[in-house]
Amino acid sequence: MSEAIRLKHYSLRTEETYLDWVRRYILFHNKRHPKDMGTEEIQNFLTHLATEKKVAASTQNQALSAILFLYRHVLHIEIDFPTDIVRAQKPKTLPTVLTHHEALSIINKMDGTPQLMTKILYGSGLRLPSLLRHPPPPKRLRYKNRPGAPRPQRRKDHHDLHPRTEPRRFCRPLAAGLVA
């Protein structure tokens, strides 16, 4: 399954998650091979997640995606989309999101490497595992704040990584490998 996931260029985290959901699916059905199971078993497993395990709707959807990936891309079995699933309830409250001012207030109370990493995460939109695996190289920092300098392409919803006032402070820990 890992090979099929990697061929589709899914992230490492997605690979780990999909493998875990497929393992749970097989164990739930007493180690029966997925080739010997079908839509009914998928429905039973997903209903179990919603009713017994009380998982969130997004978690149930993630499990469904992993199982469908297994059937379609690994076993090459076209399976009908399960329709009689007891769906997990979507949360009725919105997640709490910090304002820009609140986020900066928290970041300014930090110092050292944790503050550096938090600034990179907040400014770039990266997730922690991505930062730990691939810290931005110091070479990219040279483009910062030079008028007319070419800029690497980036997604529009990501912000500049580093504040204008501290480019040297950011280069030193990255070059020294403190963030890796």
User: Per residue in 11-41, pLDDT tens?
Assistant: 999 999 999 999 999 999 999 999 999 999 9
Say yes or no: 13 and 70 in one domain.
yes
Say yes or no: 8 and 67 in one domain.
yes
DSSP percent split of the chain into helix, strand, coil, nearest 5: 55, 0, 45
DSSP 61-102: HHHHHHHHHIIIIIS----PPP-S--PPPPPSSPPP---HHH
Q: DSSP assignment, residue 8?
A: T
**pLDDT tens figures, 127-164:** 888 777 765 555 545 445 555 545 555 555 544 444 44
User: Does the residue 82 lie in any domain?
Assistant: no
Task: Please report where in the chains the tokens 């600034």 appear, as a residue.
Answer: 119
Say yes or no: 65 and 122 in one domain.
no
State the pLDDT at residue 129: 80
User: Does the residue 138 lie in any domain?
Assistant: yes
pTM of the predicted structure, to 2 decimals: 0.56
Q: DSSP assignment, residue 159?
A: P
Using alpha carbons, select from 13, 26, 36 the residue that is nearest to residue 2: 13
User: Does the residue 111 lie in any domain?
Assistant: yes
DSSP 119-142: HHHHHH---HHHHHHSPPPHHHHT
**Residue 137 sits in which domain range?**
100-176
* Measured CA angle at 167 (ends 163, 170), to 5 deg: 100
Say yes or no: 19 and 53 in one domain.
yes
Say yes or no: 9 and 59 in one domain.
yes
Mean pLDDT over all residues of the chain? 79
CATH number at residue 29: 1.10.150.130
DSSP 19-64: HHHHHHHHHHTTT--GGG--HHHHHHHHHHHHHTS---HHHHHHHH
User: Does the residue 30 lie in any domain?
Assistant: yes
Whether residue 165 is predicted with pLDDT greater than 50 in this model: the reply is no
Task: Please report where in the chains the tokens 């690497």 appear, as a residue.
Answer: 152
Q: Which of 37, 58, 74 is the last residue of a domain?
A: 74
161/5: higher pLDDT: 5
* Measured CA angle at 27 (ends 24, 30), to 5 deg: 155
